[in-house]
Structure 1
Amino acid sequence: MKLDHTNRAHAKLSASGAKQWLNCPPSIKASEGIVDRTSIFAEEGTFAHELSELYFSRKYGGLTEIEFNKAFSNYKHNEYYSEELREYVEQYVDMVEERVNEAKA
């Protein structure tokens, strides 16, 4: 299983840009054609999202434990992987699971 968000288009109405586009709706159109720049922080965030998606695929997407472990071992070799980041991702996944369970109740 290969998750790769680096080639996805960035959302025009992203949460990170909400303050800007809510206060200035024309900024959405004005920003068209401007090349997205990246930073190590954005790359680390993308990696965290991909790792989260791996966890969610195991919980909700039918990914087997063997498939998860194989993919996870690849993630552990990524330059952005750390035990601290893994703990944050697991906390995030647990929080989302709690919200899903509350919504189902």
Structure 2
Amino acid sequence: MNPNKNSNKSFQFAIITIVCFGVFIVFQVLAARDDISEETYTYASSFFVSLVFVAAIASFVSSIKGLKEPISVKKIIGLSVNALLILLLIAVIVANVMDF
């Protein structure tokens, strides 16, 4: 049994989240240059942003579960990336609530 099971899962989710966020940025650039239609941009960006939020939450939960596991590079990277993404998620939610 792998002693860093939750830390490894957290690291994998962090990588997935970063890749999806990168794809979202690519779609934004393409939409700004009018290389794709607005409808395609809306659907694709909605999908990838939703995937980022779900993966960030799942990753953060795995990070918290893995706090008692031995320290490793993957654990540190996963925990720091996930904490940053959760803080950004909270900031986005607070900004949207304040707009109402």
TM-score if structure 1 supplies the norm length? Answer: 0.36
Structure having greater relative contact order (Cα 8 Å, sep ≥ 6): 2
| Larger-gyration structure (1/2) | 1
